[in-house]
């Protein structure tokens, strides 16, 4: 029986990502309705020229329940894939609404760089510090 995590980040699956359906499966593993909603939201935002004021029209257009749309929107927001910009935001040029964000991709790059730097740092004082810090996790 498969165990469904909040996000399926297994390296073999990441390597095989080819299209929006694969991205949706990684983001929302095990929930077909939320996968469909995530794909629809991401495509809608990708194809827009600017921020989208409301995502609610996707409910009727693609037969997505309000609860599924809201839960999926909340997950995409918490992951940093989409963001809501206000009318006073410089990032939106005065146009409020939802848009694709760069926070997740930049955070994942920083995370990968941090792991690489940590692996390369073999100084004895660093190794001792890591050992002491792990003891606090008990």
Q: What is the pLDDT of residues 68-109, one digit of tens each?
A: 999 999 999 998 999 998 888 776 677 889 999 988 889 889
3-state secondary structure of 85: strand
Do 42 and 66 reside in the same domain of the chain?
yes
- Residues 29-55 have a mean pLDDT of 94
Do 4 and 68 reside in the same domain of the chain?
yes
Q: Which domain holds residue 135?
A: 102-138
Report the percent of the chain where pLDDT is more than 90. 67
Distance CA 8, CA 2 (A): 11
Q: What is the H or E stretch that residue 99 is in? A: strand 97-100
- Residues 10-39 have a mean pLDDT of 92
Do 47 and 34 reside in the same domain of the chain?
yes
What pLDDT score was predicted for residue 4?
47
Do 6 and 72 reside in the same domain of the chain?
yes
Distance CA 7, CA 86 (A): 28
The owner of tokens 């004895």 is: 124
Instruction: Please tell me the total count of domains within the chain.
Output: 2
Task: Write the CATH number for 61.
Answer: 1.10.10
């Amino acid at each position: 029986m498969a165990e469904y995590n909040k996000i399926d980040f297994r390296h073999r699956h990441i390597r095989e990502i080819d299209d929006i359906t694969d991205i949706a499966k990684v983001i929302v593993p095990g929930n077909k309705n939320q996968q469909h909603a995530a794909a629809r939201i991401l495509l809608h935002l990708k194809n827009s020229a600017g921020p989208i004021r409301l995502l609610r029209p996707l409910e009727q257009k693609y037969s997505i329940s309000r609860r599924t749309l809201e839960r999926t929107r909340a997950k995409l927001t918490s992951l940093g894939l989409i963001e809501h910009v206000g009318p006073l935001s410089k990032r939106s040029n005065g146009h409020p609404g939802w848009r694709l964000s760069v926070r997740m991709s930049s955070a994942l790059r920083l995370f990968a760089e941090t792991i690489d730097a940590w692996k390369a740092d073999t100084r004895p004082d660093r190794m001792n510090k890591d050992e002491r810090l792990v003891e606090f996790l008990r």
